[in-house]
Amino acid sequence: MNSLRTKPEIRNELKFQLGNIFVKEFPNGLKILYLQKDKLPLVRLNFFIESGSKFDSLSFPGLARLTAAMIDEGAGGLTSLELSDGFDLLGTDFKISTDNDFIVFSLQSLAENIGRSLELLSLVILKPDFPLAEFEREKKKLLVNILQLKDDPERIADQIFDKIIYQNHYYSLPVSGYSDSVEKITLQDIKNFYTNSFKADRSFLAAAGNITPEEFYQLIEKYFQNFVPSASKVILPDKLNPSDKKVFVYNKPESVQTEIRAGYVSGKRNMKDFFAKHLLNTIFGGQFNSRLNSNLRERNGYTYGVSSQFAYLKDSGYFLISTSVNTENTFPAIKEILNELYKLNDGVTTDELTFAKTSLTRKFPLNFETYRQLTSNLSALAIQNLPVDYFNSYLKNLNAVSIDEVNSEAERLSQADIKIILVGNKDLFADEFLKNGYELVEVDEKGNEK
């Protein structure tokens, strides 16, 4: 072989150190995590308010989401369109999203316009007007969005998965709500939800930009000092009664692929097992060369791609395998997924673990390149209540994980009570499941047994 054509070696491992993360808490309880980054004249921030759908889900599914849709429909005397034009004229990118835990305001502004951008943001958060005319429109928009769920196999599969693994828990219901629950929401419900949940002590900011932390703190103080803390703490009931069934099907006869979700509630994020789980998942389904993708895609051609993850909400976490396969390979794909899970009982190899550690270690600096990456990393610190030196001790913690620790996680995953959700043309694959001894439980799009 031509010597040129052998793999080059990598010499001199690079050292990576993240810049200082500044932390501040104001008297009203509002917290800030800030990182100064000078590369471009930009400031990016995520403003989190812990008022996500978990607070509405068991009473009024969809209320948090609709509140978020209404929050910028007029504020501080500016109309919906005036507010929107205000951000656009500054060239500021402004978005609002809702998840199970939070309503999140994301803003990316030129540094020269950050003051004016924050002023507009403060109107939206502190002085929403909730006009009735806009309410009817936003409610209808959400209802139509829920109607469109029926078109989208991925959304159906995700929604059923949450319901099946979380059952009656507050994480079981969709952020969008259901059409019957959203129909009943009144403007007064939204005002009440806002008044009860938009509180300074339930909020934090994660930001990165090319201004100093002091300049940033001053702006936040100027615009958010009147943000009030809550009078009392809300405690949500935290119980889980898993179903004893295993395979759930939503029949979508016109489908040409089957959307597959498989997983279980694997627990909250914690420092003890996080790194072992992360390494395990890297080997099992977290990247292109994982066991799952090598099997289902590169060996068998059943799918364009398959992946797995340990996903973390604020108060819980789950393990999820996710893929879509052509209909005739539905059963073969499930068989291979279960087979890969079963094989985890034998643990992982030293080579696999070394590959996972090396790859994650060397890739680490790539996670801190953009303003978006920086703010989302700072957000994770606050959401999961991680120590401020978390990123600078990350590699030490990752590399300290032993193969035994990974293998005990592997064994746990292998023996977990994995639920399987299939969204597709049931008639074309049901027999194969039945023949092989599986019971198929048919569910509707809410995940309820039919």
Partner 1 sequence: MSLFNLTYTKTILENGLEVILHRDDSLPLVAVNIWYKVGSANERKGKTGLAHLFEHMMFQGSENVPKEMHFKYIQEAGGILNGSTSFDRTNYYEKLPSNAIEIPLWLESDRMGFLLNALDEEKLENQKSVVINERLERYDNQPYGLAWEIIVKNLFPENHPYSWPTIGFKEDIESFTLEDVRSFFKSFYSPSNATLVVAGDIDQSETLALVRKYFNEIPSYETPAPPASVDFQLSENIFIEHRDNVQLPRLYLAFPTVKSYQPKDAEFEILSDILSGSKNSRLNKRLVFDEQIAQDVSAFQFSGKYGGMFMIVSTAKPGIKISELKEKIFEELSSVSSNGITETELTKTRNGIKSNFIASMQNLDNIADHLNHYNFYLNEPNSFEWDINRYMSVQTENVKDVCYELLNKKYLELNITPKEN
> Given the complex with partner 1, which of 75 and 265 has the nearer CB atom?
75
Q: Does 271 bind partner 1 (CB under 8 A)?
A: no
Q: How far is the CB of 358 from partner 1 (least distance, A)?
A: 6
Interior/surface letters 335-346, b for 16+ CB within 10 angstroms, e for the rest = ebbeebbeebee
189-to-66, 82, 425 alpha-carbon distances in Å: 10, 25, 40
Q: Which of 20, 25, 59, 93 binds partner 1 (CB under 8 A)?
A: 93
Q: How far is the CB of 267 from partner 1 (least distance, A)?
A: 27
Alpha carbons within 13 angstroms on the beta-carbon side of residue 206 total 21
Q: How far is the CB of 348 from partner 1 (least distance, A)?
A: 15
Interior/surface letters 151-182, b for 16+ CB within 10 angstroms, e for the rest = eebebbbbbbbbbbbbbebbbbbbbbbbeebb
Contact 353, 422 (CB under 8 A): no
> Given the complex with partner 1, which of 165 and 249 has the nearer CB atom?
249
Burial category of 3 from C-beta neighbours within 10 Å (exposed 0-12, middle 13-18, buried 19 and up): exposed
For the segment 228-257, give every residue that binds partner 1 (CB under 8 A). 254-257
Count other C-beta atoms under 10 Å from residue 244's C-beta.
6
Separation of alpha carbons 248 and 50, rounded Å: 32
Q: How far is the CB of 301 from partner 1 (least distance, A)?
A: 3
CA-wise closest residue to 332 among 306, 296, 299: 296
For the segment 372-391, give every residue that binds partner 1 (CB under 8 A). 372
Q: Does 427 bind partner 1 (CB under 8 A)?
A: no
For the segment 26-45, give every residue that binds partner 1 (CB under 8 A). 39-42
Separation of alpha carbons 113 and 104, rounded Å: 21
* From 10-18, 182-190, 340-348, 393-401, span contacting partner 1 (CB under 8 A): 10-18
Q: Does 396 bind partner 1 (CB under 8 A)?
A: no
For the segment 191-230, give every residue that binds partner 1 (CB under 8 A). none
> Given the complex with partner 1, which of 370 and 414 has the nearer CB atom?
370
Q: How far is the CB of 27 from partner 1 (least distance, A)?
A: 34
Q: How far is the CB of 155 from partner 1 (least distance, A)?
A: 10
> Given the complex with partner 1, which of 288 and 342 has the nearer CB atom?
288
Q: Please, which residues bridge with residue 35 across strands? A: 208
Separation of alpha carbons 80 and 120, rounded Å: 12
For the segment 350-369, give every residue that binds partner 1 (CB under 8 A). 355, 358-359, 361-366, 368-369
Residue that is written with structure tokens 């794909």 in the block: 333
Burial category of 105 from C-beta neighbours within 10 Å (exposed 0-12, middle 13-18, buried 19 and up): buried
For the segment 303-332, give every residue that binds partner 1 (CB under 8 A). 303-304, 324-326
Q: How far is the CB of 333 from partner 1 (least distance, A)?
A: 10
Q: Does 100 bind partner 1 (CB under 8 A)?
A: no
> Given the complex with partner 1, which of 283 and 443 has the nearer CB atom?
283
